Structure 1
Amino acid sequence: MFKPFQTVAVLGAGVMGSQIAAHLANVGLTVHLLDIASPTGSKNDLVESAWKKALKLSPPILFTEKVARRITLGNFDEHLDRLRQADWIIEAVVEDLQIKQQLMECLESIIQPETIVSTNTSGIPIRWIAKGRSESFRKRFLGTHFFNPPRYLKLLELIPTQDTDAAVLDRVKWFGERYLGKGIVIAKDTPNFIANRIGIFVTLLGVKAWAEQGYSIEEIDTLTGTLIGRPKSATFRTADLVGLDTLIAVADHLYQAVPNDEHREIFQIPDVLRKMVANGMLGAKTKQGFYKKQQRQILSINPKTFAYEAAQPLNLGELDAIAALPLRDRIRALYASSGRAGDFFRQTTLEMLNYSAHRVPEIADDPQDIDLAMRWGFGWDMGPFELWDVLGVETVLADMQAAEMSVPAWVKQSFYPSVTAEEEKAVWKNAEAALLEMGDGVLLYEFRSKGNTLSNKVLEGFAAALSILETSDYKGLVIGNKSDHFSGGANLAEMGMIAQSGDWNAIATLISNFQELLQRIHYFPKPIVAAIQGRVLGGGCELVMACPKIVAAAETYIGLVEVGVGLIPGAGGLMRMASRAAERAATETPSHVLPFLRTAFETIAIARVSSSAVEAQALGFLPYDARILISGEHRLEVAKAEVLHLDRIGYVPPPQNNSIFVLGQAGRAALEQIAYVYEQGGFASAYDRYLASRLAFVLTGGELTAPALVSEDYLLQLERESFVPLLRQEKTQARMMHLLKTKKPLRN
């Protein structure tokens, strides 16, 4: 057990330094962010300007705006004395060895003898930076290479030197995993460490196929993106985001730094790429690189004319059948396919696997560390050696031999020996949901519908799960799944089909049953815990709000987004938001309740989705006793432990809430005035304003002329009575159809 860090200093407020500081503040640390003093004006002008720029980044770097209060800005001329308070100092200044060494010399004369110092460099050997420092300093020094953006990318490469104390490395690893939610990989002090060494190689394979082999940008991005389990930014969109000048600088550095690399020539940049940079085509930062957006059209550069042109039809054969397969089958099918698509994938995959094999033990002792680095740092679903196993070790070796590729002697068998594991026992299941045993008397209800939507089969499964739980010895239930996103909400396709048929009674029954189900969950006599992550939208949000206990990944994006499809929440979401607004107020007087109700109203009216679980608490979607995990990968286990804890102490469901304070007609008028201002300001359409009026109607208690106490059933009835008439509206149906066809909202 190690002592956690409490105060951290980040030196350098550039793109990475500011974001590292933000993530440290997100997890509750006191952070000092320092940079060089401004030569004119206030000495803090440079650091303040850099921090303001960082706060405008999208996606946001802070869980909530209040997190910024944990960060104190300063400069090297006036505030280095603050470093005496720091438990950990992270250097993220300009990539200049002399500057870094001078800074380390300065630090050694200031900091406490137990303070740990690390560098976030990605291109300079770690050992060089601490050269000349005392043995005590070198023992407390290492590389901590965060990946951009550090809030969202899981990988943290730790790079010890020969002098780094093992206990120091272990403490940073422990803290990084437990407090920062990072996936830790121990890398060797080699050029660009693990992930970037492999990543730049793979990127340049794509660039050279474009420059030399006649594949188009769109073809290569199709074959290196989601089709093979990698981010949709694929090769060229990723390169544009990184910056083509940065790509060239990294490749040039690597070419000089790895003279014994058997694949060294890959780092020789094609002339066409250098010409692009010379012409100011740097990528996203100059709004033109491999891609350029022009009048809502995405164009790509022609390597012969340097003109930006519309994409030509892909010449890759029929990929639809392959794309429909599960990932592992998709990989095998693409590797085995004939034609240009298969040729490209086979060749680049063989080269990538061969290169990765040659990097063991140079950059990492364990091939699994390379896999983890690529998954956590680059968002790959499978690392190189996992991919190799899927294709078959012997198959790949034979193909490498046929291609006259040298293979390291250590590669002989499967990298991941198969382990027979018992599948979780299914107590009940249908085509889109399952009730599983987690062990120790706890059940897991898992939806498996497309997008984890709350389809009819999922809702039927909920009813079955609760009946089984109620009539058995099981202790409680976890609601969750292992996918990236908890739930996309109601199944609009199913609801749209019923609406098209005109069976409004069926819709009314569906809404009533959904409300009853969520009320049953809320007041169930055994503990039910929701384990959530990623997107939690619409009906999924209402489901979570109904659960008495919640475990949430910090990266949870939750919201009542029904207005986007021309509806209002109809399964208790408005009832619970009205209740929480009144509960959060100091007293049950209109002037105290209205500010909280106004926040709820505006949040729902603009279909706002939280940018984190922490913000979801402030918006009222999550209670303040929700358990928030910086790393959500253990959410199901934590939720199970929560069920067992509640059972052990004698779980008692929440008391019936039959006295919700609502504001009546005056409150409704105040909320409708807000909607009017939104419309007049051009921020909302006339139909948006109409939908907002229906929200206000329910949130304030309907036709009540004065503030009053009402029951949950009263507000649920208002929800039902408002929902079905909206679904009958042509503009609502148009919004639903547009979202289903384009996956984009229509604000008609």
Structure 2
Amino acid sequence: MFKPFQTAAVLGAGVMGAQIAAHLANAGLTVHLLDLPAQSGDKNAVVEGAFKKALKQSPPILFTEKTAQRVILGNYEEHFDRLAKVDWVIEAVVENLAIKQQLMDRVEKTVSKETVISTNTSGLSIASIAAGRSKSFRQHFLGTHFFNPPRYLKLLELIPTADTDPQVVERMQWFGRMYLGKGIVIAKDTPNFIANRIGMFVAMLGLKGLTEQGYSIEEVDTLTGTLIGRPKSGTFRMADLVGLDTLLYVSEHLHAAVTNDPDRDMFKVPDLLRKLVETGSLGTKAGQGFYKKVDGEIRSLNPKTFAYESAKPLNLGNIDGIAKLPNLAERLQKLYHHKGRAGEFFRHAILATLAYSANRIPEIADRPVDIDQAMRWGFGWELGPFEIWDALGFDTVLTDLRKAGLAIPAWIDQMRQEGTTGFYQENGSAYVPGEYFVPLTAATDEIHLADIKANPKAVLWHNSEAALLDLGDGVVLYDLRSKANTLSIKVVDGLLEVMDWLETHDYRGMVIGNDSDNFCVGINLAEVGKIVQLENLNPFNRSHKVIAELLTKVQTLVQRIYYFHKPIVAAVHGRALGGGCELAMACPHVVADAETYIGLVELSVGLIPAGGGLMRMARWIGNRAVSDAPGDMLPFLKKVFETIGTAKVSNSAQEGIELGFLPPTTKIVMNADRRLYAAKQAVLCLDHLGYTPPPRNPIPVLGQPARAALELMAYVMHQGGYISDYDRSLANRLAYVLTGGDLTAPAAVDDNYLLGLERDNFLPLVDSPKTQERILHMLKTKKPLRN
């Protein structure tokens, strides 16, 4: 067991330093962010300006605005002595070896003997930065290479030196994974370590596709984006986001540093990139790079004229069918064997990437899995290079590498001689050169549903869109599997059926969750739209009986979950929107990934929450206020009205708690891979303590006087042009429910009273043409319509 870090100091408030400090604060640490003193005036002006700028970034670097209170600003002249009392010092100053060495000399003279010191350098030698320092210092020193943005990218490369104490490395692995939510890869002290070394090679392949192979910017981005399991930004949008000046610097540095790399010339800076940087076209931060927004249109660079032009049709042949295949391995295989320009580009690029990755072992890493994890966690690839190799077929790729004349390292030939057919085995082992197949160390505090699903006996019940899985120890999981993780009719019916099952079987409790990208994005709007269309065809049926029955079913379900006699825990992550938010709110106990984006967004599609969301928010208002007096409750009521009326979604799980969408007892896990495990443990803990469901306390509401105050808020917004006529109408319905309907004075009501108000104010909206327009627009564009 290691002691977690509680305090840290980050030296350098630049782009990375400020963000690293912010993420440490997200994790609960008190962080001192220091930079150079200003030459005149307030000596904290430099660091304050840098941090203020960082706070304006999108997406935001902090979980909540309050998190900034844990970042204490300072300067090297007045506040360097603070380092004597911190657990961890991270250096993130300019990439200049002499400056870093001078700073380390000063750090050594200030910190305690037990302080861990690390550098966030992305290219300089870790050992050289610590050169000249004492043995004790070097034992507590290593590289901690965060990826930008540190809050959102999972990879943390740890780069120990020959002198780094193994206990320090183990502590950093443990803390990084558990408290910072990182995927840890141990890298060697080589130029740009693992991910950036491979990533820069791949980026240069994309650039050459434009400058040497005749592919357009849009074609390259199409062939290097989601089609092949990489971020939609592809090559050139990603370059714009990173900054073309940064790309130029890294390329120049790599070319100078990797003198023994046979593929060193790949890192020569293309003339096109150099000219763009020289002319100030630095990418997103400069408003133009490879792309530029002109009159609302995204245009791309013509590399010959340097003008920005409208996108031309792709000349890649018929790849639409490939793009629609849900299985990535199948997409990769189809594209690899494609006869047109698309296949030609992909084969050339992927063979070069696989050959380069293989030849960097053991230079940058000893194991293929290290490279795969680095690319998945650092660059957002769904599959790493060697996983792609397996997907395409080991022998197929090896044969084509030979045909292409690409260098093949001896260890790959050794694999072939051993008769192996891939880098990974179904039993969880991975190939390690010189060691054959080695079992991958499985974390004991993670649950992966692929492992559960592999056992047929673990599936206790299922339909086409959900399943009940046995997690062991008397705990079951309701696994949402609907398209896009919507709250479909089959998901609702299945959960009602599972509740009956849980009632009669000897299990301790249940987790509701899944292992896909989102917890639940809300009601299935496509199903609602079809029901409305079918019922509108019958002129004698305008009551929307099916919708009413579904709504009653949902309300019955959420109440049953909340007051169930066994613990039910929501394992929330990603987006939990609308009905998905209400499903999470129905669970009295929640484990949430830190990156949870939750909210009641129904007004954006012309509806109001009606699955218990407004009822629970009314209860939250009463619980937050110090008393039931209108003066105490009204500020919280106004906050809820504004939050739901503007369809606000939390920026994090922590903000979800502050907004009232998650209970204050929510357990937040920084590492999403631990979410299901933590939820299971919560069920067991609650059961062992002797579980009792929440009490059925009355809910205080404020009646018509408070409703008038909320309607005035909507009126002012409408008069200011911030909301439409229909938005105001919806807001008035929202106010009506939250304040208790026609009650003329404050009163205490029960759950069913407010659920009835939800239902009565939801159903008429389904008939509204404006609501139907909003639903249709959302289905078509994935964007809200403000009609």
Q: What's 2:278 paired with?
A: 278
Q: What's 1:661 paired with?
A: 700
Matching residue's letter, 1:532: V
Q: Distance in 1 between matches of 2:784 and 2:703?
A: 32
Deviations 1:159-181 (A, max 9, x none): 11111111111111111111111
TM-superposed CA distance for 1:474, in Å, is 2.1
Deviations 1:53-95 (A, max 9, x none): 0110111111111111111100001111111111110000111
Q: Distance in 2 between matches of 1:685 and 1:119?
A: 52
Q: What's 1:400 paired with?
A: 401
Equivalent of 1:670, from 706, 709, 718?
A: 709
Equivalent of 1:478, from 511, 516, 521?
A: 511
Q: Distance in 2 between matches of 1:443 and 1:611?
A: 30
Q: Distance in 2 between matches of 1:683 and 1:24?
A: 37
Q: Distance in 2 between matches of 1:400 and 1:108?
A: 50
Q: Distance in 1 between matches of 2:683 and 2:7?
A: 34
Q: What's 1:701 paired with?
A: 740
Instruction: Give the count of matched residue pairs.
Output: 747
Q: What's 1:384 paired with?
A: 385
Q: Distance in 1 between matches of 2:323 and 2:225?
A: 11
* 1:517-556 equivalence runs, <5 A: 517-556=557-596
Q: What's 1:622 paired with?
A: 662
SS of equivalent residue, structure 2 residue 158: strand
* 1:49-198 equivalence runs, <5 A: 49-198=49-198
Q: Does 1:647 align with 2:679?
A: no
TM-score by length of 1: 0.99
Q: What's 1:574 paired with?
A: 614
Single out whichever of 313-322 and 411-420 deviates more from structure 2: 411-420
Q: Does 1:496 align with 2:529?
A: yes
Q: Distance in 1 between matches of 2:248 and 2:7?
A: 37
Q: Distance in 2 between matches of 1:215 and 1:654?
A: 62
Matching residue's letter, 1:178: M
Q: Distance in 2 between matches of 1:353 and 1:677?
A: 60
Deviations 1:265-313 (A, max 9, x none): 1111221222222222111111111111111111001111111111111
TM-superposed CA distance for 1:562, in Å, is 0.2
Q: Distance in 2 between matches of 1:427 and 1:317?
A: 46
TM-superposed CA distance for 1:435, in Å, is 1.3
Deviations 1:319-347 (A, max 9, x none): 12112221111111111111111111111
Q: Distance in 2 between matches of 1:129 and 1:719?
A: 63
* 1:509-524 equivalence runs, <5 A: 509-524=549-564
SS of equivalent residue, structure 1 residue 532: strand
Q: Distance in 2 between matches of 1:651 and 1:346?
A: 58
Q: Does 1:688 align with 2:689?
A: no
Q: 5+ residue gaps in structure 2?
A: 429-450, 537-541
Q: What's 2:232 paired with?
A: 232
Q: What's 1:440 paired with?
A: 473
Q: Distance in 1 between matches of 2:685 and 2:6?
A: 29
Equivalent of 1:506, from 530, 546, 556?
A: 546
TM-score by length of 2: 0.94
Single out whichever of 378-387 and 471-480 deviates more from structure 2: 471-480
Q: Distance in 1 between matches of 2:273 and 2:711?
A: 56
Deviations 1:177-228 (A, max 9, x none): 1111111111001000000000010011000011110111111111111111
Q: Distance in 2 between matches of 1:80 and 1:268?
A: 40
Q: What's 1:722 paired with?
A: 761
SS of equivalent residue, structure 1 residue 77: helix
Matching residue's letter, 2:258: V
Q: What's 1:605 paired with?
A: 645
Single out whichever of 224-233 and 680-689 deviates more from structure 2: 680-689
Residue 460 of structure 2 contacts residue 469 of structure 2 at CA under 8 Å; is this kept in 1?
A: yes
Matching residue's letter, 1:606: T
Single out whichever of 423-432 and 668-677 deviates more from structure 2: 423-432
Q: What's 1:48 paired with?
A: 48
SS of equivalent residue, structure 1 residue 118: strand
Q: What's 2:438 paired with?
A: none
SS of equivalent residue, structure 2 residue 77: coil
Matching residue's letter, 1:423: N
Single out whichever of 170-179 and 74-83 deviates more from structure 2: 170-179
TM-superposed CA distance for 1:508, in Å, is 1.4
Q: Distance in 2 between matches of 1:522 and 1:319?
A: 48
Q: Distance in 2 between matches of 1:653 and 1:113?
A: 50
Q: What's 1:336 paired with?
A: 337
* 1:191-206 equivalence runs, <5 A: 191-206=191-206
Matching residue's letter, 2:323: A
Deviations 1:513-548 (A, max 9, x none): 110111111111211111010000000000110112
Q: Distance in 1 between matches of 2:471 and 2:324?
A: 31
Residue 510 of structure 2 contacts residue 683 of structure 2 at CA under 8 Å; is this kept in 1?
A: yes
Q: Does 1:310 align with 2:310?
A: yes
Q: Distance in 1 between matches of 2:488 and 2:642?
A: 28
Matching residue's letter, 1:64: T
Q: What's 2:299 paired with?
A: 299
Q: What's 2:346 paired with?
A: 345
Q: Distance in 2 between matches of 1:408 and 1:606?
A: 58
TM-superposed CA distance for 1:739, in Å, is 0.6
Single out whichever of 648-657 and 683-692 deviates more from structure 2: 648-657
Q: Distance in 2 between matches of 1:655 and 1:313?
A: 62
Q: What's 2:371 paired with?
A: 370
TM-superposed CA distance for 1:423, in Å, is 3.0
TM-superposed CA distance for 1:114, in Å, is 1.4
Matching residue's letter, 2:478: Y
Q: 5+ residue gaps in structure 1?
A: none
Q: Does 1:734 align with 2:773?
A: yes
Single out whichever of 671-680 and 617-626 deviates more from structure 2: 671-680
Q: Distance in 2 between matches of 1:75 and 1:677?
A: 45
Matching residue's letter, 1:394: D
Matching residue's letter, 1:175: F
Q: Distance in 2 between matches of 1:472 and 1:156?
A: 44
* CA RMSD across the alignment: 1.1
Q: Distance in 1 between matches of 2:734 and 2:76?
A: 52
SS of equivalent residue, structure 2 residue 410: coil
Q: Distance in 1 between matches of 2:559 and 2:202?
A: 52
Residue 371 of structure 2 contacts residue 385 of structure 2 at CA under 8 Å; is this kept in 1?
A: yes
Residue 588 of structure 2 contacts residue 663 of structure 2 at CA under 8 Å; is this kept in 1?
A: no
* Percent of residue pairs bearing the same amino acid type: 63
SS of equivalent residue, structure 2 residue 734: helix
Q: What's 1:417 paired with?
A: 425
Matching residue's letter, 2:328: L
TM-superposed CA distance for 1:682, in Å, is 2.4
Q: Distance in 1 between matches of 2:239 and 2:105?
A: 36
Q: What's 1:584 paired with?
A: 624
Q: Distance in 1 between matches of 2:425 and 2:662?
A: 42
SS of equivalent residue, structure 1 residue 533: strand
Q: What's 1:595 paired with?
A: 635
TM-superposed CA distance for 1:27, in Å, is 1.0
Q: Distance in 1 between matches of 2:359 and 2:369?
A: 14
Q: Distance in 1 between matches of 2:665 and 2:43?
A: 42
